[in-house]
Amino acid sequence: MLNADGDFPMHLNLGRYILTEGRIPLKDVFSHTLAGQPVMQHEWLTCLFYAITERFLGLGGPVLISAILIATSLTLVFKCLQKENKTLLSAVLVILLVSLNSILHWLIRPHLSTFLLLALWMLVLNDLYQEKHQHWWLLPVIMLFWVNLHGGFVAGFLTWFIYGFGVISEKIFNKESACSGLPKEFWRNYLLGGFTAFIASLLNPSGFGLWTGILSHLGNKYLADITYEFQSPNFHEISFWPFMILIGMLVVVIGMTKKPRKFGLLFCTAVWLLMGLYSARHIPLFGIVAAPLLAGGLDEIFENIPLKNKFMTRLGVINTRVREIDSQLKGVFWVVLSIVIAVVGLGLGLRFDAEGQGYVFDPEEFPVEAVDWIEENPQEGKMFNEFLWGGYLQYRLWPEKQVFIDSKADFYGEDFIRIYLQVVNLEEDWETVLDKYQLEWVILQKNSKAAKAIEDDLGWYLVYEDTTALILRKE
């Protein structure tokens, strides 16, 4: 979770800044290339939580926050499935599939909050539809946190719109469905919840500018094409097979079952499926949205299997026993106990990871040893650095040193990303970039072609090298 990409140390450094300075930086202070330019901080609250827990528990603190977010999201989905369906097997199978699909993005990054908040968002919408609870005010409450925890808050409004569109379509094309018995106050509460949620989304450090910034970033095809997580899933990779299985099961279940389906849920599932096929980062969200539809279908199938079937008879006994045990464990005792054990253990220095190394940055992924050397041998002048190392360099060297670039692609934008790639890909006139930004030294991957060209063609000399990184200085 710590070493999969370069975003986490960047987020942690921002959280440290907010915690130390007591303010959210709305102009860039971490780079020398775009210093002073307006920047959106749509994940500042998550970053602050990272910094607070890191202060008391080290890097294990943010790991614990991430684990709690994942576990809470999956638990919420499972409890809802268990409550809505008669057979435990349907809920278990679906939550296992949802878990396997969400593993793709088990990283220490703010997007984990979107897992939980989308699950809560869908729960509120379904309750409005089923007349269980008409707590429309929960939507703006959720949004108030969502908009400050992660930029994925836009997904909430997309889901809200599609859900409403589905309800309207059901009213028009399926008049005999349950939609004819909509709660009297559904549309009032639906619209009131959506409108107040939009107002709540403006309660962020950048106001309405956050909307325009995120939508312009999402609409930038170039940035989407060069970002791995925005690309379509490759089903030849085993990591995407759970997604393929989930799609297949959903198609089979919809074809085999006769139970009337809520168009709002059906339409949301279809839209998130398309988004998951277009961009792999949406796969976990598709799993969360599709879970009730798949579990309901499986529940109907299992219910219709003859009871004389030995397997189903045994399964029924197990289902009854597990439900009895679960009813005896109601409350938050075991949840709280688990978290307390984790917190105390981390505080005492226990190592919960499989390899027993503790939570550290991998020197094969980040320039750990190179930065150790820089701290003992400070380098004068402006640096050029690897894109994915920008956050780590900030985490270790800021404020003494500012980076050339970090992994905030939405902030740097297409034009500046192209300038960076001009150097690392040795495109035409790449040398002029180093002069334009008055660069004095570079820290790059050891075997990068840009490092070799800077040393051989420009005559910069090597001052440090290890198995991961090298540092070159201008003559």
Instruction: Report the SS3 class of residue 384.
Output: strand
Residues 115 and 192 in one domain: yes
Model pLDDT for residues 335-386, shown as the tens digit of each residue: 888 888 888 888 888 888 777 778 899 999 999 999 999 999 999 999 999 9
Model pLDDT for residues 52-84, shown as the tens digit of each residue: 999 999 999 999 999 999 999 999 999 999 889
Residues 250 and 105 in one domain: yes
pLDDT, mean over the chain: 91
Residue 296 Cα to chain centre, angstroms: 27
Residues 301 and 411 in one domain: no
Residues 268 and 389 in one domain: no
- Residues 268-279 have a mean pLDDT of 95
- How far is the C-alpha of 58 from the C-alpha of 69, rounded, in Å? 18
Is 61 within the bounds of a domain? no
Q: Specify the DSSP element, H or E, that contains 206.
A: none
- Residues 12-35 have a mean pLDDT of 97
Dihedral angle at the C-alpha atoms of 202, 204, 205, 206, nearest 10 degrees?
-40
- How far is the C-alpha of 231 from the C-alpha of 241, rounded, in Å? 16
The pLDDT assigned to 330 comes to 66
The pLDDT assigned to 309 comes to 63
Domain count, the chain: 2
Is 377 within the bounds of a domain? yes
Q: Is the pLDDT of residue 174 over 90?
A: no
Model pLDDT for residues 194-228, shown as the tens digit of each residue: 999 999 999 999 999 999 999 888 878 888 777 77
- Helix ranges (DSSP H) in 305-429: 310-328, 333-347, 368-376, 390-397, 409-424
Q: Is the pLDDT of residue 331 over 70?
A: no
3-state SS of 55-111 is HHHCCHHHHHHHHHHHHHHHHHHHHHHHHHCCCHHHHHHHHHHHHHHHHHHCCCCCC
Residue 297 Cα to chain centre, angstroms: 28
Q: Is the pLDDT of residue 144 over 90?
A: yes
Residues 288 and 384 in one domain: no
Is 39 within the bounds of a domain? no
The pLDDT assigned to 385 comes to 97
Single out the residue in 316, 339, 356 at which a domain terminates.
Answer: 316
Residues 123 and 251 in one domain: yes
Residues 6+ apart with CB under 8 A from 145: 45, 113, 117
Q: Is the pLDDT of residue 170 over 90?
A: no
Residues in the chain: 475
What's the whole-model pTM score? Answer: 0.91
The backbone region for 322, taken as left when phi is positive above 0, alpha when psi lies in -120 to 50, beta otherwise, is: alpha
Is 359 within the bounds of a domain? no
Residues 134 and 267 in one domain: yes
Q: What's 455's DSSP letter?
A: H
The pLDDT assigned to 177 comes to 55
The pLDDT assigned to 175 comes to 59
Single out the residue in 286, 316, 346 at which a domain terminates.
Answer: 316
Is 16 within the bounds of a domain? no
Q: Specify the DSSP element, H or E, that contains 128.
A: helix 112-130
- How far is the C-alpha of 394 from the C-alpha of 383, rounded, in Å? 12
Q: Is the pLDDT of residue 181 over 70?
A: no
Q: Is the pLDDT of residue 164 over 60?
A: yes
Q: Is the pLDDT of residue 180 over 60?
A: no
The pLDDT assigned to 176 comes to 58
Q: Is the pLDDT of residue 294 over 70?
A: yes
Is 346 within the bounds of a domain? no
Q: Is the pLDDT of residue 326 over 80?
A: no
Q: Which domain holds residue 276?
A: 66-316
Residues 6+ apart with CB under 8 A from 447: none
The pLDDT assigned to 179 comes to 47
The pLDDT assigned to 132 comes to 67
The pLDDT assigned to 178 comes to 47
Residues 188 and 306 in one domain: yes
